[in-house]
Protein backbone atom coordinates (compact mmCIF):
# COMPACT_ATOMS: atom_id res chain seq x y z
CA UNK A 1 0.00 0.00 0.00
CA UNK A 2 1.31 3.48 -0.83
CA UNK A 3 0.06 7.04 -0.85
CA UNK A 4 0.65 8.40 -4.34
CA UNK A 5 1.85 11.99 -4.83
CA UNK A 6 -0.22 14.48 -6.78
CA UNK A 7 -3.73 15.81 -6.85
CA UNK A 8 -6.14 14.25 -6.29
CA UNK A 9 -4.45 12.14 -3.64
CA UNK A 10 -4.79 8.40 -4.12
CA UNK A 11 -3.94 5.25 -2.24
CA UNK A 12 -2.59 2.36 -4.32
CA UNK A 13 -2.88 -1.25 -3.15
CA UNK A 14 -0.85 -3.91 -4.92
CA UNK A 15 -0.76 -7.70 -4.63
CA UNK A 16 1.65 -10.03 -6.44
CA UNK A 17 1.41 -13.70 -7.24
CA UNK A 18 3.49 -16.22 -9.19
CA UNK A 19 0.75 -17.30 -11.58
CA UNK A 20 1.18 -16.50 -15.26
CA UNK A 21 -2.60 -16.68 -15.73
CA UNK A 22 -4.00 -13.21 -16.35
CA UNK A 23 -7.00 -12.14 -14.25
CA UNK A 24 -10.42 -12.10 -15.87
CA UNK A 25 -13.81 -10.88 -14.78
CA UNK A 26 -16.38 -13.55 -14.16
CA UNK A 27 -20.15 -13.63 -13.84
CA UNK A 28 -20.62 -15.91 -10.82
CA UNK A 29 -24.00 -17.35 -10.04
CA UNK A 30 -25.91 -16.38 -6.93
CA UNK A 31 -24.64 -19.36 -4.96
CA UNK A 32 -21.05 -19.38 -6.29
CA UNK A 33 -18.32 -19.28 -3.66
CA UNK A 34 -15.69 -17.58 -5.84
CA UNK A 35 -15.31 -15.28 -8.84
CA UNK A 36 -16.30 -11.96 -7.29
CA UNK A 37 -12.87 -10.44 -6.58
CA UNK A 38 -12.50 -8.30 -9.69
CA UNK A 39 -16.18 -7.35 -9.57
CA UNK A 40 -15.65 -5.94 -6.08
CA UNK A 41 -12.42 -4.19 -7.02
CA UNK A 42 -14.08 -2.66 -10.09
CA UNK A 43 -17.05 -1.45 -8.04
CA UNK A 44 -14.98 0.09 -5.22
CA UNK A 45 -11.74 1.33 -6.79
CA UNK A 46 -11.26 4.45 -8.88
CA UNK A 47 -9.11 2.40 -11.25
CA UNK A 48 -7.32 -0.95 -11.32
CA UNK A 49 -5.09 -3.07 -13.52
CA UNK A 50 -2.54 -5.85 -13.81
CA UNK A 51 1.06 -5.89 -14.95
CA UNK A 52 3.66 -8.63 -15.45
CA UNK A 53 6.27 -9.08 -12.73
CA UNK A 54 9.15 -11.48 -13.21
CA UNK A 55 7.66 -14.95 -12.74
CA UNK A 56 4.11 -13.75 -12.17
CA UNK A 57 1.98 -10.63 -12.08
CA UNK A 58 0.86 -7.77 -9.86
CA UNK A 59 -2.75 -6.68 -9.47
CA UNK A 60 -3.24 -3.12 -8.31
CA UNK A 61 -6.09 -0.74 -7.56
CA UNK A 62 -6.30 2.92 -6.57
CA UNK A 63 -8.72 4.73 -4.29
CA UNK A 64 -9.22 8.49 -4.04
CA UNK A 65 -8.41 9.99 -0.65
CA UNK A 66 -11.25 12.29 0.44
CA UNK A 67 -10.28 15.89 1.15
CA UNK A 68 -10.23 16.89 4.79
CA UNK A 69 -13.35 18.81 5.92
CA UNK A 70 -13.01 22.56 5.42
CA UNK A 71 -10.59 22.28 2.49
Q: What is the pLDDT of residues 8-21, one digit of tens each?
A: 899 999 999 999 88
Q: Residue 14 domain-assigned?
A: yes
What pLDDT is attached to residue 37?
87
Domain limits for position 12: 2-23+37-64
The strand ranges marked E within 1-46 are 2-4, 10-17
Specify whether the CB–CB gap between 59 and 42 falls below 8 A. no
Q: Residue 29 domain-assigned?
A: no
Alpha-carbon distance values, 37 to 23, 28, 40 (Å): 10, 10, 5
Structural domain count of the chain: 1
What pLDDT is attached to residue 4?
94
Amino acid sequence: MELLPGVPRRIRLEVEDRSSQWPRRRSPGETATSGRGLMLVGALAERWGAEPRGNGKALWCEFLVPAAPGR
